[in-house]
């Protein structure tokens, strides 16, 4: 049984940064077939806190640096909106945006070869005090991440194009057989499990799926009232 404590709860961090830095980090994540949080997590696990603190802060965006996004909800849904460039990282609580920005900057430096990491017991050229890491564990963790992503992709439902029109539609979205009568406890438990996967802040999140999960839950609640 895993006990969830304040130290291992996930937290969503908004990291202001320049457009160039954002693009470089997301390109590296795509190249390594991981998400941005995986890059930050790897650095904070491998590098000493002092080394991350001493690393030059890539800094936030300049005054004229903006990105355009399309609003996904609210009265202005579908309209473009300009905002400061940022990266979204969901990982354990206890960090701050500057530390994670530095960690991501270190990930870029490591990829360029500007910083060395000791993975085999020999002194690294740029970081002689870097801790020794079992490379096989890193490879195993990456393979497990790919396996889990494949499972989630396979199990993810396709949102109904017409939305939730019936009780069976709502049951389908929540993964129950048509005509079944799950009790309130079962509904809440299933919703929490699916929301953990499909919430936009998660590494596998999807706004449309999360919206339809909420819609399905609301429909079933109204039907029980």
Q: Is residue 118 part of a domain?
A: yes
- Whether residues 103 and 183 share a domain: the answer is no
pLDDT, tens only, 197-207: 778 776 667 78
Q: Is the pLDDT of residue 89 over 70?
A: yes
105 with 215, same domain: the answer is no
Residue 151 lies in a domain: no
Tokens 């590296």 locate to 28
Q: Are residues 162 and 137 part of one domain?
A: no
Q: What's the mean per-residue pLDDT of the chain?
A: 80
Domain of 199? Answer: 156-224
Question: Do 64 and 139 fall into the same domain?
Answer: yes
Q: At what angle do helices 36-46 and 19-32 cross, to 10 degrees?
A: 90
Backbone angles phi, psi at 93, to 5 degrees: -75, 165
pTM comes to: 0.49
115 and 14, same structural domain?
yes
**Structural domain count of the chain:** 2
Do 98 and 175 belong together in one domain?
A: no
Q: Name the domain boundary from 86, 120, 145.
A: 145
Question: How confident is the model over 94-135, as pLDDT tens digits?
Answer: 899 999 999 999 999 888 888 776 555 444 444 444 455 567
Same domain, 136 and 169: no
Tell me, yes or no, whether 107 and 18 share the same domain: yes
The answer on 177 and 72 residing in a single domain is: no
Residue 15 domain-assigned (yes or no): yes
The reply to whether 128 and 171 lie within a common domain is no
CA distance 13 to 22: 14
The tokens of 142 are what?
Answer: 């990456």
SS3 82: strand
């Amino acid at each position: 049984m895993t006990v969830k404590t304040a130290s291992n709860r996930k937290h969503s961090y908004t990291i202001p940064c320049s457009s160039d830095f954002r693009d470089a980090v997301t390109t590296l994540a795509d190249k390594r077939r991981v998400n941005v949080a995986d890059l930050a997590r790897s650095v904070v696990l491998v590098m000493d806190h002092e080394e991350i603190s001493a690393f030059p802060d890539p800094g936030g965006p300049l005054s004229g640096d903006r990105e355009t996004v399309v609003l996904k909800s609210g009265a202005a849904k579908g309209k473009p909106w300009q905002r400061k460039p940022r990266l979204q990282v969901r990982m354990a609580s206890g960090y701050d945006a500057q530390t994670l920005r530095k960690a991501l900057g270190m990930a870029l430096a490591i990829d360029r070869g500007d910083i060395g990491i000791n993975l085999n017991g020999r002194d690294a050229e740029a970081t002689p005090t870097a801790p020794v890491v079992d490379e096989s564990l890193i490879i195993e963790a990456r393979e497990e991440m790919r396996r889990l992503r494949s499972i989630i992709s396979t199990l993810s439902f396709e949102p109904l194009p017409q939305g939730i029109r019936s009780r069976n539609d709502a049951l389908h979205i929540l993964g129950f057989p048509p005509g079944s009568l799950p009790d309130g406890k079962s509904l809440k438990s299933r919703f929490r499990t699916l929301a953990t996967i499909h919430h936009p802040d998660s590494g596998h999140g999807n706004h449309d799926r999360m919206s339809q999960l909420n819609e399905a839950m609301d429909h079933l609640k109204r039907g029980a009232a």
